[in-house]
Structure 1
Amino acid sequence: MTIPSPILQALERAHPSWRPILERGLQAIAAANPSYLPELAADNYLPTELRLFAAFQQPLDQVRYVLVGEGPYPRAESATGVCFMDGAVQGLWSEEEGGGLSKPVNKATSLRNFMKMLLVADGQLDESNTAGEALAACSTRAKAGAAIQTLAEMQERLHSHGFLLLNASLVFRPHVAPAKDAKAWLPFFETVMQALAAKQPKLILWGKIAEQLNKLPSVQALPQIAAEHPYNLSFIANKEMQALFGPMELLKR
């Protein structure tokens, strides 16, 4: 089946090791729902700028973890094609005296709660007190040179640990329910997970939409952890997430 040209062009953002797999995944979508990709190509969706497959810049042979969120941020400047990497965020820490996290991080709820979870896991914050003076003290230490300073550095740290940062739906459209778009991408994910099966990466599923991937046999066969989506405050105190990410020391330089 013919894949629309704008969708194929977006494959250029992926690492070459992924291209044949992603093409097979798109063919699987087309076989299951022939009208989906042509309709998508003619529609307005996020991410823009051919970043649909940007998460696949991580080379296939370096994948050790597959982190799956729900979908792109619903803002053009934020949706990068990489799970919870908000394009509107540069600095992580507030530049204001007595400030904690930067304003853009605070606006990106999932990223904010992920940062706080990391600080709790590192012993810098108590999960019962993750704001105000306690968070400001973390910021002061970070800006003194003890921690990474930008979201780009965070993405590099995650990549260095072998993370593939995906969303259950690779697109966001305000007039389409995210669960509906995610369902359309299931054949694509089955293809991707089959390609990873021999490597047995650990799968981390964030939120109800991501958990729907467990319908796929290739996903069921992988070791995995499911958690609430980071936009929930309870994520900060999630012990499994703390145990997984804490030893990685993602905030440290």
Structure 2
Amino acid sequence: MDTVTEPEPLFDLEPAQAAGPDFAELAGLPFDELMAPDWAAALAGVEAELRSVLTFLAAESAAGHRVLPSASNVLRAFQQPLDGVRVLIVGQDPYPTPGHAVGLAFSVDAGTRPIPRSLANIYKELASDLGLPPRIHGDLGAWADQGVLLLNRVLSVREGAAGSHRGKGWETITTAAVTAVVGRRTAEGITAPLVAVLWGKDAEGVRPLLGSTPVVASAHPSPLSASRGFFGSRPFSRANALLTEQGGGPVDWELPAVPPQLRPRSLG
């Protein structure tokens, strides 16, 4: 998301979630259990700040405020290895509608209907850019599995209150995350292919952290700004071209018609 917050549907049912730790339990877990091992090593310098934010979320929850996404998803962006990141897409903060936020910027749970309008615009541009069919679901997990880091600048929100967890410490942590991604681009003298995709002014705020990383920038896909430079920006083909120029392989941006968690189980 970005500073522009569009209304979201009010009547979606939140999908069932597997039982997991609450925020108080999360704050007490060993650091290397919170995320992939290489992310834990890279973010060790902000461990105290992360634990402080998680303690704040536990207090929010104890006070009766619903925090989104769930504790089991709040650090989902760091579950895939840092070493595999090759495209960085920066968002603002999670969707404030129950059932939408899943810990990946712009993505929603596979069962959410209708999908948020910013994501619908992303699908329109994907179809225009690469000719790929829009999906009725909003699960972008297949992108994350290929090394697309869908990172919000702020990783939590109070239900119904967009931007409510800004200034609580997340910015320090996500700044460290972007710095870590950029730092491994030239680690040990080997340049790892990397492209940053920046949509909107909040995303543009990380540009000073990117160094020589190639950037694809445009307006945000929000309905209020998509027509002012997002549509027609061809971010997906441009990102792939930049990856190829650096000696990397392209991302397969086509999402599955039916995400894994919605596929019927085989009877055989």
Q: TM-score by structure 2 length?
A: 0.63
Residue 121 of structure 2 aligns with an amino acid whose one-letter code is: N
Residue 199 of structure 1 aligns with an amino acid whose one-letter code is: R
> The residue matched to 1:178 in structure 2 has which SS?
coil
Partner of 1:193: 178
Distance, in Å, in 1 between the alignment partners of 2:212 and 2:158 is 31
Residue 26 of structure 2 aligns with an amino acid whose one-letter code is: P
Q: 1:66, CA displacement in angstroms?
A: 1.1
Which structure 1 residue ranges, 5 or more long, are not aligned? Answer: 91-102, 125-137, 140-147
> The residue matched to 1:239 in structure 2 has which SS?
coil
With over 3 angstroms needed to count, the CA separation of the structure-2 counterparts of 1:88 and 1:175, relative to structure 1, is same
Note the aligned Cα RMSD (angstroms): 3.5
Distance, in Å, in 2 between the alignment partners of 1:78 and 1:179 is 16
1:25-40 superposed matches below 5 A = 25-28=46-49, 38-40=55-57
Q: Deviations over 1:27-61 (max 9, x none)?
A: 2567xxx7x55433311321114211101122111
CA contact (8 A) 2:85 2:148 kept: yes
Q: 1:168, CA displacement in angstroms?
A: 1.0
Q: Percent identity?
A: 28
> The residue matched to 1:205 in structure 2 has which SS?
strand
Q: Deviations over 1:1-47 (max 9, x none)?
A: xx9653354964532321233443342567xxx7x554333113211
Distance, in Å, in 2 between the alignment partners of 1:183 and 1:169 is 9
Distance, in Å, in 2 between the alignment partners of 1:228 and 1:67 is 13
Q: TM-score by structure 1 length?
A: 0.66
Partner of 2:99: 77
Q: 1:104 aligns with which of 111, 114, 123?
A: 114
Partner of 2:26: 6
Q: Which structure features the higher share of helix residues?
A: 1
Q: 1:236, CA displacement in angstroms?
A: 5.4
1:34-183 superposed matches below 5 A = 38-43=55-60, 44=65, 45-87=67-109, 89=111, 103-105=113-115, 108-123=116-131, 151-152=138-139, 154-156=140-142, 158-173=143-158, 178=163, 181=166
With over 3 angstroms needed to count, the CA separation of the structure-2 counterparts of 1:240 and 1:8, relative to structure 1, is farther
CA contact (8 A) 1:46 1:173 kept: yes
Q: 2:232 aligns with which of 229, 238, 252?
A: 238
With over 3 angstroms needed to count, the CA separation of the structure-2 counterparts of 1:40 and 1:160, relative to structure 1, is closer
Distance, in Å, in 2 between the alignment partners of 1:222 and 1:183 is 28
Partner of 1:208: 201
> The residue matched to 1:165 in structure 2 has which SS?
strand
1:251 equivalent to 2:254? Answer yes
CA contact (8 A) 1:10 1:53 kept: no
Partner of 2:169: 184
Equivalent residue pairs, number: 208
> The residue matched to 2:198 in structure 1 has which SS?
strand
With over 3 angstroms needed to count, the CA separation of the structure-2 counterparts of 1:184 and 1:208, relative to structure 1, is farther
Q: Deviations over 1:103-123 (max 9, x none)?
A: 523xx1121111111111124
Distance, in Å, in 2 between the alignment partners of 1:6 and 1:18 is 16
1:226 equivalent to 2:220? Answer no
